[in-house]
Amino acid sequence: MKYRKDIDGLRAVAVLPVLIFHAKLGFFHGGFLGVDVFFVISGFLITSILVEEISQKTFSFANFYERRVRRLLPALIFMTAATSVLAYQLMITVDLKGYGNSLVAMSLFSSNIFFWLDSGYFDRVADLKPMLHTWSLAVEEQYYFFFPLVLLIVLRWVPKLLTLTVLTILVISLGLASWAAVNAPDANFYLLPTRAWELMFGSLASILIFNNVQILERLSTANAFKNGALIVLFICLIWFDESIPHPSMLTLIPVLATLVLIVIPAPDSLAHKLLTLRPMVFTGLISYSLYLWHQPLLVFNRYMSAKSDASVRIAILLAAFALAFVSWRYIEKPFRHRNVTTRKQVYSFCAVSFAAIIGFGLYAGQDGLPSRYTQEQQALLSYLQYNAPAGQPQDNAHCFLGENETHKALSESCFDSGSVLLWGDSHANALAKGLRYKLGEKLNETTSSACLPLIDTHFPHRKHCQTTNDFVIEHIQQANYNTIVLHGNWISHPDKIDALSETLAALQTVNARIIVVGGVPHYLPDLPSFLLTKRLLLDADSAPVKVEPTLFAEIEAIDTKLMAASKQFDNVTFVSALASFCASQEQCQVILPSATEERQWVPAAWDYGHVTLEGALLLSDQIPVNTNQN
């Protein structure tokens, strides 16, 4: 097929917002849509090659897959090898174990399935996964396995049905994505069946061009449509954000804009001239390697420094550009040309490399290689598998609901006799350990994974939250509580904080004191690892040291909103968890004396923010509960 500079420019439009979004530099809040643009481009290019070769009877699966191997795998292997060296040096056991498993999944072209089962793309833990971005490569690789065969069968036997076949796949996939956006958002994001429609739009563009379909023949109209499409695409990249269902019918907007940019040449349009600028074309040429390198660089920066200002993250992206150029010039280009490397050499190199990658992945994926650490360091990292000591019988009751559990799974003992109710998410469940030491059987608890204590609020990744919270409100109105404590990881849903005022208003029907507890300090990747990178251990020498957490300013801003909502009601008190742990932004208490062992020390939190028993006790002391029954 004929080379088009504007397609490389469109690749630049796709990759740059992805980089800026992942670097958290702002502006391109919908930068993740760049991957959707890539899918449309890929569908267009692959279909163009396949239709041309099948029509000319020059197609062979051997040649097709050889080109795909040459195009994708050498650069991927180069990046993976370098990333694995850094992972071995920097990642703690639990994260290296996950990294090793992700290497195996990547090597089997199933990264998307692995990360779907592992975590959501927008979860905070996703920021610490060096190979997360390979999910999109897996989607394309799976597409390469089935689509050439579909096209070959259709073009050989029923060529007139080609467009209908593509449209059928497109409509089914888009319909499935629309359903899954609400009912299975993580699967919807990662899996091929709900992404195929974007690739099919690219295929449709290829078919239209191959059949010489003239779209908008008038020059002025074509220019206007192409310019408008680029503007619409930029608006989507800027204004869409993580709260939109994705992919969904809304994603049609940037996908259709990409389709227009491909099928309407309009060489005199401003959009075409922008896309064919030399810097844009060059960025498009190195876009694959640029996409490969940016994620591990950003992840390892977060490992080495929990906080970094924008200038550091910009420098990291510039480093990604430098590595991408080296990869494109000295890895991608030589491996693509058959006069430089033979098919046997390429396949041998890839086979040996992937055998080594899988071997290391299996080795690291067993236990995360704890032998790299001293006994004292292992003692610190053991808190990543933390299980708080049971202090009261209710600790053994089922008062915390998992991801797929409804309120019907709660034990009766969770809310049958106490005068104080704790309501919230997993952070509230962690706090319950401390409150229960303080209150004993006077504490009732209803907590649910990732469900903030807010009424009439939909949480897309936890479909039972709304019904669970409705149940809690109904229970409160029928019970006789003296004090109700609301706590959660408020920063996980900053867009939903406004619902707190409505929730507090609903609680005015009961005669109870209400206490809203703000968010606890956060640490990346987690507090034990954070302490390890600071060369701090669980001892008296380290205990006086106070450190600066991650996201302090962001949590403080959320606290301001929580406090404002609380001040609207006379019976509501706000308690700052930040103030309980931190004297200032740079001075947060992270190592506490053990509540169960003399002369022992423990971290204040066992992961990024869930408090240990000792952390819960420290926070509980700041919560003014009244245990007298109404």
Domains in the chain, number? 2
In a domain, 630, yes or no: no
Q: What is the pLDDT of residues 406-433, one digit of tens each?
A: 989 998 888 877 899 999 999 999 999 9
Residue 598, class by beta-carbon neighbours within 10 Å (0-12 exposed, 13-18 middle, 19+ buried)?
A: exposed
Residues near 148 by Cβ (< 8 Å), separated by ≥ 6? 50, 59, 61, 64
Give the model's pLDDT for residue 59.
94
Q: What is the pLDDT of residues 366-388, one digit of tens each?
A: 999 999 988 888 888 888 888 76
| Residue 515 and residue 447 share a domain | yes
| Residue 301 and residue 404 share a domain | no
Boundary-marking domain end, from 372, 399, 432: 372
Residues near 80 by Cβ (< 8 Å), separated by ≥ 6? 103, 106, 131, 357
Whole-number Cα distances in Å, 387 to 383, 401, 451, 595, 606: 8, 17, 21, 14, 9
| Residue 409 and residue 363 share a domain | no
Residue 396 has pLDDT above 60, yes or no: no
Task: Confirm if 283 and 16 have CB atoms less than 8 A apart.
Answer: yes
Angle of the 5-22 helix axis to the 278-285 helix axis, nearest 10: 70
In a domain, 298, yes or no: yes
List residues bridging with 569 in a β-sheet. none
Boundary-marking domain end, from 372, 404, 434: 372
In a domain, 625, yes or no: no
Angle of the 552-566 helix axis to the 499-506 helix axis, nearest 10: 40
Which of 296, 283, 354 lies closest to 324, judged by CA? 283
Please give the Cα distance from 243 to 264 (Å, whole number): 32
In a domain, 378, yes or no: no
**Beta-strand relationship, 582-584 and 587-589:** antiparallel
Hey, what amino acid is at 301?
N
List residues bridging with 602 in a β-sheet. 592
Give the model's pLDDT for residue 388.
65
Please give the Cα distance from 221 to 228 (Å, whole number): 10
Determine if the peptide bond prior to 265 is cis (ω within 30°).
Answer: no
List residues bridging with 486 in a β-sheet. 423, 516
Which of 453, 448, 428, 394 lies closest to 611, judged by CA? 428
Collapsing DSSP to helix, strand or coil, 197 comes out as: helix
DSSP character string of 231-282: HHHHHHHHH--TTS-SSSGGGHHHHHHHHHHHH---TTSHHHHHHTSHHHHH
Give the Cα-Cα-Cα angle 509, 513, 514 (nearest 5 degrees). Answer: 85
| Domain extent at residue 509 | 383-620
Q: What is the mean pLDDT of residues 336-360?
A: 95
| Residue 497 and residue 401 share a domain | yes
Please give the residue that has the higher pLDDT: either 528 or 13.
Answer: 13
Q: What is the mean pLDDT of residues 461-476?
A: 91
Boundary-marking domain end, from 339, 372, 405: 372
| Residue 361 and residue 398 share a domain | no
In a domain, 216, yes or no: yes
| Residue 532 and residue 405 share a domain | yes
| Residue 492 and residue 355 share a domain | no
Give the model's pLDDT for residue 515.
98
Please give the Cα distance from 247 to 181 (Å, whole number): 7
Query: Which stretches of 248-374 are DSSP H helices?
Result: 252-263, 270-275, 278-285, 287-304, 310-327, 333-336, 343-367
Collapsing DSSP to helix, strand or coil, 145 comes out as: helix
How many residues would you count in the chain? Answer: 630
Please give the Cα distance from 546 to 548 (Å, whole number): 7
- Looking at residue 459, what DSSP letter applies? -
Q: What is the mean pLDDT of residues 55-65?
A: 94
Which of 288, 364, 354 lies closest to 325, judged by CA? 288
Give the Cα-Cα-Cα angle 199, 202, 204 (nearest 5 degrees). Answer: 115
Collapsing DSSP to helix, strand or coil, 485 comes out as: strand
Residue 110 has pLDDT above 80, yes or no: yes
Residue 570, class by beta-carbon neighbours within 10 Å (0-12 exposed, 13-18 middle, 19+ buried)?
A: exposed
In this structure, what CATH number is given to the domain that contains residue 567? 3.40.50.1110
Cβ-based neighbour number of residue 588 at 10 Å: 20
Q: What is the pLDDT of residues 494-530, one digit of tens each?
A: 989 999 999 999 999 999 999 999 999 998 878 988 8
Please give the Cα distance from 135 to 139 (Å, whole number): 6
Residue 304, class by beta-carbon neighbours within 10 Å (0-12 exposed, 13-18 middle, 19+ buried)?
A: exposed
Residue 586 has pLDDT above 80, yes or no: no
In a domain, 627, yes or no: no
Structure tokens at 108: 């089997």
Cβ-based neighbour number of residue 525 at 10 Å: 25
Task: Confirm if 430 and 473 have CB atoms less than 8 A apart.
Answer: no
Q: What is the mean pLDDT of residues 292-307?
A: 88
Give the model's pLDDT for residue 467.
93
The answer to whether the Cα torsion of 21, 27, 29, 35 is positive or negative is: negative
Residue 82 has pLDDT above 60, yes or no: yes
Give the model's pLDDT for residue 47.
97
In a domain, 252, yes or no: yes
Exposure string of 138-176, with b = 16+ CB inside 10 Å and e = fewer, is bbbbbbbeebbeebbebbeeeeeebeebbeebbeebbeb
| Residue 94 and residue 38 share a domain | yes
Please give the Cα distance from 594 to 613 (Å, whole number): 9
Confidence of residue 276 (pLDDT cuts 50, 70, 90): very high
Q: What is the pLDDT of residues 221-264, one digit of tens each?
A: 889 999 999 999 999 999 999 889 999 999 999 999 999 999 99
List residues bridging with 445 in a β-sheet. 422
Cβ-based neighbour number of residue 475 at 10 Å: 18
In a domain, 629, yes or no: no
Residue 8 has pLDDT above 90, yes or no: yes
| Residue 393 and residue 367 share a domain | no
Q: How many CA atoms lie within 13 A of 620 on its CB side?
A: 26
| Residue 360 and residue 231 share a domain | yes
| Residue 407 and residue 262 share a domain | no
Confidence of residue 394 (pLDDT cuts 50, 70, 90): very low
Residue 278, class by beta-carbon neighbours within 10 Å (0-12 exposed, 13-18 middle, 19+ buried)?
A: exposed
Confidence of residue 584 (pLDDT cuts 50, 70, 90): confident
Structure tokens at 527: 């507090």
| Residue 390 and residue 356 share a domain | no
Average pLDDT, the chain: 91
Give the model's pLDDT for residue 604.
94
The structure tokens 């504007």 sit at: 6
H or E segment and range at residue 409: none
Task: Confirm if 523 and 608 have CB atoms less than 8 A apart.
Answer: yes
